[in-house]
DNA sequence: CAAATGGTTGAGCATTTGTTCAACTATTTT
DNA sequence: AAAATAGTTGAACAAATGCTCAACCATTTG
């Protein structure tokens, strides 16, 4: 009958939907989760994160390594900072970036495991 | 001097870049990694995956639960299938989807840990 | 076999995203 | 204090993304 009065369709298995709804996180948490994983969802950014898992690096080196401008790297690093994925220390003009915590390496490791199945 | 003859800049710390380069994965692997994590990088898709971590679900229920059309869900599920993140079983007209392996739950768990710091 | 229902597919569209460019700040060097 | 260099920022733009719509396939039911 009606397909998308609001935007979806009828529930077939009420109990299942109810069970799942009970275990659901908040809308905000899903947004935060998505924002976090999005940081790993771009080839040059995941490459950047993987590089930092090997050694701290400055913006110039990262730009050369990744083959993009310092500007692009700086923009990426800003997003990564906002997600608490990287931290930095300043030494003169040079800013060294490194991973903020173990989660990054763990996520990378599991991701690598998955794609190599 | 020149800023972006090709597109980047000069290397400052050759040794670091060399060390990182040695440990680097292949370009294809970074693309695959990004593609994998991208699946978790959208609020409704990560919500979908989290729902499936609670219970297998059919497309209709998922659509109702997520508040999007069956079509949208089906499109998402196709991407998730291509990444080996979900599997399905058919029962009459109804297709039940569930998580393909433990990696999904593990990644979700670590992600949740991270955002709750 | 016709109608109904669950699911898939492709086109189209609005939004988001990753990059570059240009202009700027900050720190060092001369 | 001027020049050079590392990094940041905002605007602009092309490419990618997630959704809906409409049409279709597949399976069940009358």
Q: What CA–CA distance (Å, rounded) separates B66 from B80? A: 16
CATH at residue B85: 1.10.10.10
Is position B62 within any domain? yes
State the first-to-last Cα distance of chain A, in angstroms, to the nearest integer: 43
Phi–psi pair at A86, nearest 5 degrees: -130, 155
A58 DSSP β-pair partners: A96
Is position B57 within any domain? yes
Question: pLDDT by residue (tens digit) across A3-36?
Answer: 334 445 688 899 999 999 999 999 999 999 999 9
Domain range enclosing B73: 44-117
Question: pLDDT by residue (tens digit) across A101-116?
Answer: 999 999 999 999 999 9
Is position B29 within any domain? no
Which of B5, B6, B19, B40 has the highest number of chain A CBs within 10 A, making it the mutation to test binding with A?
B40
Question: pLDDT by residue (tens digit) across A88-101?
Answer: 999 999 999 999 99
Contact at CB, A34 and B16, closer than 8 angstroms: no
Contact at CB, A50 and B65, closer than 8 angstroms: no
Q: What CA–CA distance (Å, rounded) separates B3 from A99? A: 27
Instruction: Give me the sign of the Cα torsion angle A23, B90, A34, B106.
Output: positive
Between CA B10 and C1' D4 the distance (Å) reads: 14
Which of B27, B46, B48, B108 has the highest number of chain A CBs within 10 A, making it the mutation to test binding with A?
B46
Is position A25 within any domain? no
Please tell me the number of Cα atoms within 13 Å of B64 on its side-chain side. Answer: 16
Task: Give the number of domains in chain A.
Answer: 1
Whether the model clears a pTM of 0.85, i.e. scores above it, the answer is: yes
| Residue A81 CB contacts under 8 Å (≥ 6 apart), including other chains | A87, A88
A3 touches strand C (CB under 7 A): no
| Whole-angstrom Cα Rg for chain A | 20
């Amino acid at each position: 009958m009606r397909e998308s009065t609001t935007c979806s369709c009828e529930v077939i298995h009420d109990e299942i939907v109810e069970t799942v709804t009970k275990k659901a996180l908040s809308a905000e948490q899903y947004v935060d989760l998505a924002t976090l994983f999005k940081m790993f969802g771009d080839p040059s950014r995941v490459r950047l994160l993987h590089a930092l898992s090997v050694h701290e690096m400055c913006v110039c080196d990262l730009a050369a390594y990744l083959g993009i401008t310092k500007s692009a790297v700086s923009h990426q690093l800003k997003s990564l900072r906002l997600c608490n994925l990287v931290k930095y220390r300043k030494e003169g003009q040079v800013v060294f970036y490194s991973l903020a915590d173990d989660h990054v390496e763990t996520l990378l490791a599991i991701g690598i495991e998955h794609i190599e199945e």
